[in-house]
Chain A
Amino acid sequence: MSTIEMTYRDAVRQTMVEEMDANPDVFLMGEDIGRYRGTFRVTEGLYDKYGVEKNDFIVPGIARRVVDTPIVEPGIVGFAIGAAMVGLRPIVEMMTMSFSILALDQIINHAAKIHYMTAGQAKVPLVVRGPGGAANQLSAQHSHSMEGWYAHVPGLKVVAPATPACAKGLLRTAIRDDNPVIFTENPGLYGIKGDVPEDREFSIPFGKARIARQGTDLSLIAYSRMVHVCLAAAEQLAERGISAEVVDVRSLLPLDTETIFASVAKTHRAVVVYEDWKNGGYGAEIAARIAEECFDDLDAPVGRVGGLNVPMPYSRVLELECIPNADDVLAAVNKIA
């Protein structure tokens, strides 16, 4: 499979373009995504491509397929749900996933339940995507990791890719899925580069974890940016003669327990790493599953590394204190090794 190197940001954009070109029902909605080109520039150039060049506007100045919206998350998501119920395939950009808290009623109480409440009469092929987690001193209200909140909800699917290739493969699957999908990016990942398959049909099924690094002595289990933190920790462990396997969960709901359990069965030790608040985050669910199902395989209790249980502080020193890093992972490994 021929590949091309690109950033995570470009992989997300390119996938949206490919799917919009392939299917006239796919369109984008969000705050500042059109004329302003997107807060993180993920939608750069799309207003020109789909609006100006095609002279295709829903009303003058607002592109039909790259819809600039007011700053009203419940309204945006509700609008998109309505459009999705009659077969359009909206991709909603959240400027940050922190703002999706305003839209929780629309996402949880509406989108996630429609297929069930209608007994399958209505599908909601909706993608809500955007950066989740801390960036650089965005402070308490803009640094949430929301994926664990959504992965709690039956009816949603939740993915959190760590690499450009995974972003591409999983976003294509998300756009083509007939159920509402939460696609969590991370502000710290947009600039990272990686090889991405050029095939316009390249996709990655949900519910398939990835072994990001092979190892034999212990399993580090993570998703999104924490995969890279675990890879750095694994590098340091290797210098100490410890072979760590890194499991990139990538799909939280559905969760690939098979791959996770197989890794634990091989290594007999596991540390789950997640950026969300440690208390009640999705890593706790993964740890519980391992404890429930792999008790006989384990040589030590399941370790957990999560974000500190505080609102994200502004000070860079304090912020870095909150976000798990490789040293935190090593400390957790030391407790069980």
Chain B
Amino acid sequence: MLFIRHFERFSERAYRQGKAGGYLHVYIGMEALAVGWLTQIRQGYDYVITAYRDHAHALLLGSDPVACMAEIMGRRGGLSRGKGGSMHLYDIPKGFFGGWGIVGGHTPLGAGLAFASKYRGEDRVTLNFLGDGAANAGVFFESLNMAALYDVPCIFIIENNEFAMGTRLEYHAADTELHKRGYPFGMKHERLDGMDLLQVRQDAKRIIDWVRENQKPYLVEIMTYRFVGHGAADNDQTLYRTKDEVESARQRDPIALLMDYLTSNNLMTREKIEAIDAETEAEAERVYEEADASPHPDPSEVYDDVYSDMTPEVGH
């Protein structure tokens, strides 16, 4: 969790310093959610797909942090050699299928990944992450229906951080209990906490085990909160929330919650935690510097990988 937090701070720095462009969405405040779930799957075997707030998922699945940061900076050393960017991180050999920019658009892909494992008689589970904003998309409902119709082992995980960009939950969803989206399709569904890592891990294990065993889809809505703007270009958060609200949410900062648990149970001293914090921050800085040393792509690479076997018509 600490490394993700520091990595995200450095990715924000990359944006501020003009080393990253476009859109950049960080996971600060939501770390326990991805950590809790992605540590409970069979990494490299199970499939994971998410939307554009994707840095944490890649890091947790074992992607090289330097390649992640280099991709965010659009460099040749990036996971997609600078073709994807912050929103489009992929590490297929590690079971990470992105990294998608159209709200809700990737949800049928995730269900299709799960369909493929059922088609082949494998016992993989697919974690299909989406945001609360995507929970309103038509194609998401289509995906839920098809996943339930074919009984595919897919867990739809709504990361409910209470905002669809700058629009608060109650202004974008007619029913704010998004887990109920599973009900019309006969899908098991529940709302869970996403801030207390130990609880998140327990919930994740229980549900992943159930889906693997029963080969049916599941819908969970996980309550979380982003402490920072929607994207790096979100420069006026007063339009949709107050400082007090953010401060109050920070009382349940997932990292602070875990630190309190560790210290109050005498599992780790405050000094030790601070030392780890300093170490991970230094590591994130090293990642940043190393990524920044990666060269930009050569203009001649622009046509690479449009197709697997041919080049499009060349030239302007």
- Do A and B assemble together? yes
- What 1/0 flags go to A114-136 for Cβ under 8 Å of B? 01111111110000000000000
Q: Once A and B bind, how many residue pairs between them come within 8 Å at the CB atom?
A: 153
- Assess whether B150 is in contact with A105, with CB atoms less than 8 Å apart: no
Bound form: Cα–Cα A109–B143 in Å: 17
- Assess whether B305 is in contact with A75, with CB atoms less than 8 Å apart: no
Q: Which chain A positions have C-beta within 8 A of B113?
A: 82-83, 85-86
Does B279 make an interface contact (CB < 8 A)? no
- Assess whether A82 is in contact with B109, with CB atoms less than 8 Å apart: yes
- Assess whether B119 is in contact with A106, with CB atoms less than 8 Å apart: no
- Assess whether A118 is in contact with B105, with CB atoms less than 8 Å apart: no
Does B27 make an interface contact (CB < 8 A)? no
- Please tell me which stretch of B13-21, B86-94, B219-227, B264-272 contacts chain A, meaning at least 4 of its Cβ atoms lie within 8 angstroms of it: B86-94
- Assess whether A155 is in contact with B146, with CB atoms less than 8 Å apart: no
- Assess whether B143 is in contact with A78, with CB atoms less than 8 Å apart: yes
- What 1/0 flags go to B112-141 for Cβ under 8 Å of A? 111111110000000000000000001100
- Assess whether B80 is in contact with A72, with CB atoms less than 8 Å apart: no
Does A204 make an interface contact (CB < 8 A)? no
**CB-contact partner of A116 in B83, B105, B114, B116, under 8 A:** B83
A101 CB to nearest chain B CB (Å) = 14
- Assess whether A155 is in contact with B307, with CB atoms less than 8 Å apart: yes
Does B310 make an interface contact (CB < 8 A)? yes
Does B163 make an interface contact (CB < 8 A)? no
Interface residues of A in 74-125 (CB under 8 A from B): 74-88, 105-106, 109-110, 115-123
- Assess whether B142 is in contact with A70, with CB atoms less than 8 Å apart: yes
Chain B's closest residue to A27 (CB) is: B119
Q: Which chain B positions have C-beta within 8 A of A79?
A: 108-109, 111-112, 115, 143, 146
- Assess whether B309 is in contact with A78, with CB atoms less than 8 Å apart: no
- Assess whether A179 is in contact with B83, with CB atoms less than 8 Å apart: no
Bound form: Cα–Cα A121–B308 in Å: 10
Q: What bracket does the count of chain A residues touching chain B fall in?
A: 35 or more
Bound form: Cα–Cα A123–B90 in Å: 13
- Assess whether A121 is in contact with B142, with CB atoms less than 8 Å apart: no
Does A191 make an interface contact (CB < 8 A)? no
**CB-contact partner of B108 in A27, A62, A67, A106, under 8 A:** A106
Q: Which chain B positions have C-beta within 8 A of A207?
A: 310
- Assess whether A74 is in contact with B142, with CB atoms less than 8 Å apart: yes
Bound form: Cα–Cα A106–B99 in Å: 15
**CB-contact partner of A78 in B112, B114, B116, under 8 A:** B112
- Assess whether B97 is in contact with A115, with CB atoms less than 8 Å apart: no
Chain A's closest residue to B80 (CB) is: A119
- Assess whether B116 is in contact with A62, with CB atoms less than 8 Å apart: no
Interface residues of A in 249-294 (CB under 8 A from B): 254-255
- Assess whether B84 is in contact with A117, with CB atoms less than 8 Å apart: yes
Bound form: Cα–Cα A59–B149 in Å: 8
- What 1/0 flags go to B302-314 for Cβ under 8 Å of A? 0011111110110
Q: Which chain A positions have C-beta within 8 A of B116?
A: 82-83, 86-88
- Assess whether B80 is in contact with A110, with CB atoms less than 8 Å apart: no
Bound form: Cα–Cα A85–B110 in Å: 10
Does A142 make an interface contact (CB < 8 A)? no
Q: Which chain A positions have C-beta within 8 A of B91?
A: 121
Interface residues of A in 164-207 (CB under 8 A from B): 177-179, 207
Q: Which chain A positions have C-beta within 8 A of B143?
A: 75, 78-79
Does B98 make an interface contact (CB < 8 A)? yes
Q: Which chain A positions have C-beta within 8 A of B84?
A: 117-119
Which of B93, B99, B107, B113 neighbours the largest number of chain A CB atoms within 10 Å of its CB? B113
Q: Which chain A positions have C-beta within 8 A of B47?
A: 86
- Assess whether B109 is in contact with A110, with CB atoms less than 8 Å apart: yes
Which of B88, B146, B149, B307 neighbours the largest number of chain A CB atoms within 10 Å of its CB? B307
Which of A72, A115, A117 neighbours the largest number of chain B CB atoms within 10 Å of its CB? A117
Interface residues of B in 70-89 (CB under 8 A from A): 79-81, 83-84, 88
Does B151 make an interface contact (CB < 8 A)? yes
Chain A's closest residue to B151 (CB) is: A59
- What 1/0 flags go to A5-33 for Cβ under 8 Å of B? 00000000000000000000001000000
A286 CB to nearest chain B CB (Å) = 13
Chain A's closest residue to B297 (CB) is: A119
**CB-contact partner of B308 in A82, A115, A154, under 8 A:** A115
Bound form: Cα–Cα A81–B118 in Å: 15
A193 CB to nearest chain B CB (Å) = 33
Given that A79-B115, A110-B102 are known contacts, is A72 also in contact with B146, CB under 8 Å in the complex? yes
Does A238 make an interface contact (CB < 8 A)? no
B142 CB to nearest chain A CB (Å) = 3
Given that A83-B119, A85-B97, A116-B83 are known contacts, is A78 also in contact with B304, CB under 8 Å in the complex? no
B305 CB to nearest chain A CB (Å) = 4
Interface residues of B in 138-183 (CB under 8 A from A): 138-139, 142-143, 145-146, 149-151
Chain A's closest residue to B154 (CB) is: A82
7 A-B residue pairs with Cβ-Cβ distance under 8 Å, sorted by A, are A72-B142, A78-B143, A82-B111, A86-B117, A105-B105, A121-B80, A122-B90
Q: Which 9 A-B residue pairings sit nearest by Cβ, starting from the closest?
A: A82-B112, A78-B108, A75-B142, A82-B109, A79-B112, A119-B80, A72-B142, A121-B92, A83-B116
10 additional contacts (CB under 8 A) given A72-B145, A75-B146, A82-B109: A77-B108, A78-B111, A78-B112, A82-B116, A85-B109, A85-B113, A86-B116, A119-B84, A121-B79, A178-B308
